[in-house]
Amino acid sequence: MVHKKSKIKGLIDVIQEYGKKLKRPEIRVWVHPAGRGDDYYFTFKTLRGAKAFTKKNKKSGEFAFVESPLVAYKGYEMRVKDFTKQFPKIKL
């Protein structure tokens, strides 16, 4: 894991602006803490690492909800399948 960021109102605009400056795709897994707190995401260097994190934590009880990995690129977040269709030459 590289880092995590809190999700607050208006942060979507910040994420999109930051994402426009990404020179390579960023793999994210959004989580919601069990019982309290704001949603946030973890970033990963590899899709394999993100999938392993998701699988391990879906039933761990630490998080109320763990999403499937997403790819952030050029100001947008999209499913891995959609990213590979739209950008077939970019490897994750």
Evaluate if residue 36 carries a pLDDT over 80: no
pLDDT computed for residue 8 by the predictor: 44
Contacts of 89 (CB under 8 A, 6+ apart): none
Nearest-angstrom CA–CA distance, 46 and 37: 27
- Reported pTM: 0.72
Token pair, residue 58, equals 């879906």
Q: Which two tokens stand for residue 1?
A: 């894991």
Q: Say what the pLDDT of residue 53 is.
A: 93
Q: Which of 3, 5, 63, 8 is nearest to 33 (CA)?
A: 63
